[in-house]
Amino acid sequence: MHRSSLRVVCLFASVLALVGVLAVGRSLSDAQAQGQSTQDHPLVGNWAIDAEGQGTPTDVVAFHADGTATDVETDGTVELGGWEATGPTTATLTLWGSDTDENGQLIGTAVIRVSLEVSADGNSLTGQYTIEFEDSAGTNSGEAGPAPVTGTRLMVEAPGTPVMSMEELFGSFEGTPEATPAS
């Protein structure tokens, strides 16, 4: 290879490397900007969620400062997702979950889309959600809803004054189906 050709190749490689560094730096800046927009939002934290309007929480959702979310339902089902601030006290959330049969075979997936608003005191929220199912064959239900959702912030609490021992508490469950190990 001639010296002039080698210089052109080196120059071209240097330009490509510089473009790559700039692109990576820009994508990191974009990710950091998203994190900053959610970091101080009043939604960050853990929430007891009532998605069925029964007045009893059905889920606990953790809204992380980086824009990710984890939903754990009372039956142990876990859904993962992301959220973004749409205003000082409002946000949207999308959760994805899957369901399997007793053999571990995929039955289908669900996508839940939620719009939320945190109260002025930061301790409760309200919103609406839709849900969309797709079975393992790819048949999509389309979005259903909207349905109301409410939530209460889970607060840190110090231990109180005990009224019984742990042995008394767990002993009170003896003989109930929940306390009897499965054979």
Residues 133-168: tens digit of each pLDDT:
999 888 999 999 999 999 999 999 999 999 999 999
Residue 52 confidence (pLDDT) above 60: yes
Residues 66-125: tens digit of each pLDDT:
999 999 999 889 999 999 999 999 999 999 999 888 888 888 999 999 999 999 999 999
Residues 56-75: tens digit of each pLDDT:
899 999 999 999 999 999 98
**pLDDT top residue among 120 and 7:** 120
Residue 3 confidence (pLDDT) above 80: no
- Nearest CA to 118 among 79, 157, 86, 156? 86
pLDDT for the residue numbered 38? 81
CA atoms within a 13 Å half-sphere pointing along the CA-CB vector of 125: 33
- Going by their DSSP bridges, the two strands 45-50 and 78-85 should be labelled as unpaired
